[in-house]
Amino acid sequence: PMLALPKETTTLLLHDFSWKEEPLLESFLVDKDRTLARVGLSDSSQRPQLESGDDDFECGICFCGGADEQFLRLSCGHRFCSDCYTTYVGAKVQEGESWRIRCAAPKCPVLVGLEAARLLLDGEASERYESNLTRSFVKELRTLAWCPAPNCEFAIECQVPQAAWAYSIPTVRCRCGATFCFGCRLDDHVPAPCALVARWVQKCKDDSETSNWIKANTKECIKCRSTIEKNGGCNHMTCRECHHEFCWVCSGPWSEHGQSYYSCNRFEEDSSKNARDSVSKSRAMLVRYLHYFTRFDNHEQSAKLARKLLAATEKNMEQIQREHTLSWIEVQFLNDAVDVLSQCRSTLKWSYVLGYYMVSDNQKIIFENNQSDLEMATEYLNELIENPISDDGPSIEQFRRTVIDKTTYVRTRWETILADIISGLQENRWQFESE
């Protein structure tokens, strides 16, 4: 209304100004004619229309003419028969164009525009044109993005300012269920910033053979050498042959991973600091990378197993309902626990990317203490819900209360560490290696 222009003209101008209203309004008020000329229009421009030919009319493309021909006239005055114009605009639409289709006359700057295109096109060509318009609109607005999930046609809006992406990861959730980072279009990688994630992803590609070797899902028992396969998300392993209990990640005794001692997440930097020759330094760097990658990958695999656990949980909930006369709402505690478990696995996974690039100092020690606390609580909850309910174990009510309490505690720890990392990144509390 402030421009007092037809909707078609206003839309073309908004597109030319990348949908920014203030710059358009300012330009229009300063120099109306120059602003309109940007899209090949003038104050006296007429709306495009299909007209019947006359004896003097001759199409400049196919050279047909006469009163029987129908032609399109744009605001520039150039006229071409509707068949040629339809073919011309249709070809441009096939090439992916929409807003920038210009008059068919050579060197004419006037845009065909929405109204003219809609007069010419129908059926599949019209649908493709409208799709091109929408895609162009989403592409040009920084606050919009297409969901990267396969076969998804939804666009998502994110209002987090781009300046805040360095510390507040712009994670969005699409209506299709996909969750991804609005900044880099990768899967959700909270709490690691996009810049570190890009470096980590590239490094993992460069070391793909090492990564494949690490990803083997079987290990030998340290004590009796029996082969053990990991088929659950919990890292507390017990050998079926000798009953030795150990940690899947570091192979250390599980007794050293209790409430009072848990440093499986911490890398000892002494070996890399003391390395003198190039071979020793390369070996130390590899050992350091493997430390972080092993834990990163372990949480990724555990997260996948957690999703399988979710499917199994649905059956367990039905069984508990039948056997213990509980309502559907009363057995939702298992679903809630698996949801929290999945969130924690994802956060812990990406926290190792932060740890890998983080310079060792007192602030990193505090970070690793918080990381290990969440890791320990996550492992306990994982083990708790993977163990089947038995007749000689706690009652269903005791089990339910234990799971609810532990889920609440783990969720609180998860929220706390996320909030602390966001504020830490914002305050530049940590220094990161530049490679």
Task: For residue 47, report the phi and psi dihedrals to the nearest 5 degrees.
Answer: -70, 145
3-state helix, strand, coil in the chain (%, to 5): 55, 10, 35
Pair of tokens at residue 144: 């919009």
Q: Distance between CA atoms of 223 and 220, rounded to whole angstroms?
A: 8
Q: Which long-range contacts (CB under 8 A, 24 or more apart) does 325-328 make?
A: 326/396
Kindly name the residue from 76, 147, 234, 344 that is annotated as catalytic. Answer: 234
Is the Cβ–Cβ distance between 265 and 375 less than 8 Å? yes
Is the Cβ–Cβ distance between 388 and 230 less than 8 Å? no
Q: Distance between CA atoms of 36 and 422, rounded to whole angstroms?
A: 46
Q: Distance between CA atoms of 261 and 359, rounded to whole angstroms?
A: 23
The candidate with the shortest Cα–Cα distance to 115, out of 11, 1, 25, is 11
Cis amide linkage into residue 191, ω under 30° from 0: yes
Is the Cβ–Cβ distance between 372 and 262 less than 8 Å? yes
234 assigned to active site: yes
Q: Which residues pair with 71 in a beta bridge?
A: 51, 81
The candidate with the shortest Cα–Cα distance to 234, out of 216, 247, 215, 223, is 247
DSSP 28-83: HHH-HHHHHHTTT--TTPPPPEEEE--TT-B-TTT--BSTT-EEEE-TT--EEEHH
Is the Cβ–Cβ distance between 119 and 50 less than 8 Å? yes
Task: For residue 428, report the phi and psi dihedrals to the nearest 5 degrees.
Answer: 55, 45
Is the Cβ–Cβ distance between 115 and 47 less than 8 Å? yes
Kindly calculate the radius of gyration of the chain based on its CA atoms and give it in whole angstroms: 31
Pair of tokens at residue 136: 């162009």
Pair of tokens at residue 3: 């421009």
Strands 218-220 vs 245-247: parallel, antiparallel or unpaired: unpaired
Active-site positions read: 234
